[in-house]
Amino acid sequence: MNERERDGYVLSTDPAAVDLDTVHRWLSEDSYWAAGRDRDLVARSIAGSLPYSVHRDGAQVGFARAVTDHATFAWICDVFVDPAHRGRGLGVWLVDAMVADLGAKGLTRFLLATRDAHEVYRRSGFEPVAGPQRFMEIDRRPTRDAIIAHLNATATER
């Protein structure tokens, strides 16, 4: 188990440290990308990933997970910081820890997706995908149409 401390917060890579009920609530009720995701699906996604948690006074206040082949590539996803704890750099801390840990194991490529946190992830070294036309997808999420509509509306506002 890998733990780090900063300003009263503890970052853990121990899967047992994940408060599944809290993470499920955040993702299914408070995120735009996983709205309505059922608890079993959240549990399975965490079990199949490398979860990172941030706690304060024993309560989970942040979460992220990496989907990886453990050799070359990681998809960083489900990054969430409790609104009461935002603005303290916890999201950057989570992502930086993931990139550092996985980079130390030899991974050289990291990918993530965001609607509105580009500046946060730039602090961790992320930049827009070079050659996005090379990427393709199959997206069967039931919320896909709502997510795309929101993205289009946001782009029009800019």
Instruction: Give kind and range of the element (H or E) at residue 84.
Output: none
Model pTM score? 0.87
| C-alpha to C-alpha distance for 17 and 6, rounded to whole angstroms | 17
What pLDDT, on a 0 to 100 scale, did the predictor assign at position 70? 96
What pLDDT, on a 0 to 100 scale, did the predictor assign at position 158? 58
Residue 102 in contact with residue 110, Cβ under 8 Å? yes
What pLDDT, on a 0 to 100 scale, did the predictor assign at position 150? 64
Domain assignments of the chain as residue spans, ordered by start: 3-132
| C-alpha to C-alpha distance for 156 and 158, rounded to whole angstroms | 5
What pLDDT, on a 0 to 100 scale, did the predictor assign at position 47? 98
Please give the average pLDDT of every successive group of 10 residues along the chain, which has 158 residues: 90 97 97 92 98 98 98 97 97 97 97 92 94 88 71 66
What pLDDT, on a 0 to 100 scale, did the predictor assign at position 115? 87
What pLDDT, on a 0 to 100 scale, did the predictor assign at position 156? 66
**Class for the domain spanning 3-132:** alpha beta
